[in-house]
Structure 1
Amino acid sequence: MKKEDNVDNIELIAFFSIIDRQHYIYLNHMLKDYNTSAGEFPILMEIYHKGKLTQHELVDTFYLTPGAVARTLRRLEDKNIIHREIDKNNRRQNFVTLTSDGAEIVKHILNLDTQWEKEVCESLNENEIHKLKKILDQILKNSYKIKNRIIEENKK
């Protein structure tokens, strides 16, 4: 983005997209030595926060295809970051958990994210950051409303 750009002429989604891309580049650079990538980040965070999940829950959470989730989980399993266990009550379903190595990597990623957030928000005070998060939370809620409306319309 150029300095002379008028922010009112920039679509909101462009800000999100550019920030997300910069975050992705930062994480990929910082995670080189940890045998993981920014593309695996959301799934790792979801497993970290929820503990034990099924592959199907990850598909539903991220609106990914079962194949895409399975490929990501296979890569993570091959790197000893996650462990998959067949559900004894439903042999077609796998539970996914972090290994101890995976938990250490996630803690490192969380520290990196904290550092990134501090750096990208360095020109904002605490009150401005709080207001920004409140506004973004409202946008997030509205985006979910739109998504749910579209899902309901597609059911008809």
Structure 2
Amino acid sequence: MKRVQSYGKHEDIVLRAHIELSRSLIKIRAKEIVWLSERDLTLPQFGILESLYHLGKLSVGQITKLTLSTPGNMTVIVKNLQSKGLIRILTSEEDRRIKMLEITDEGSEIIKSIFPTHVENLTGWYDKALNEEEVQTLSRLLRKLEKAQ
């Protein structure tokens, strides 16, 4: 077996942490994607519906930032959600150039019915490996890492 090259003790630790973080997220996301597809939703669609359900009416720009999406991708996702009757597109009362998104009653019912199970799924996946204190520590450390960028 080929010996892995070292880039320095600290650098090797950072690389290992990054690889493990990425692998963990990819595995959890894969489970989420399968679960959501069984409910006829994509992960980005779910993100928009969940944001609108919990936060209320938001601009397309706000949703794009919240869901870590791109404007081009957001256009397609919004059109698909609108065609399913799950959201409405409105014009901002303050600035007619800004489009606002609002969840419909049907969209609200979908999120209301599936979100508790989504939370149970995430809790179960995390609880397989981490206790409550470890999850709190992980959350705190990831927020610290995010804020440093």
Question: What TM-score, normalized to structure 2?
Answer: 0.75
Q: Distance in 2 between matches of 1:100 and 1:84?
A: 14
Rate the CA distance shift 1:124–1:75 in 2: closer, same or farther, 3 A: same
The 2-side partners of 1:64 and 1:117 are apart by 21
Q: CA RMSD in A?
A: 2.4
Q: Partner residue of 2:81? A: 76
The one of 30, 43, 51 equivalent to 1:21 is 30
- Give the 4+ runs in structure 1 shifted more than 4 A: 121-125
State the percentage of identical aligned residues: 23
Candidates 59, 67, 79, aligned match of 1:62: 67
Is the aligned partner of 1:143 residue 2:127? no
Separation in 2, partners of 1:49, 1:140: 22
- Quick one: distance in 1 between partners of 2:91 and 2:45? 21
Report what 1:132 is aligned to.
134
- In structure 2, the gaps of 5 or more residues are 1-15
Give deviations 1:36-91, integer Å, cap 9, x for gaps. Answer: 33331111111111101000111222332222112111110111100111113312
Aligned residues: 133
TM-score normalized by the length of structure 1: 0.72
Measured in 1, the distance between the counterparts of 2:59 and 2:128 equals 41
Structure-2 change in CA distance of 1:69 and 1:80 (3 Å): same
Q: What is the SS of the residue equivalent to 1:90?
A: coil
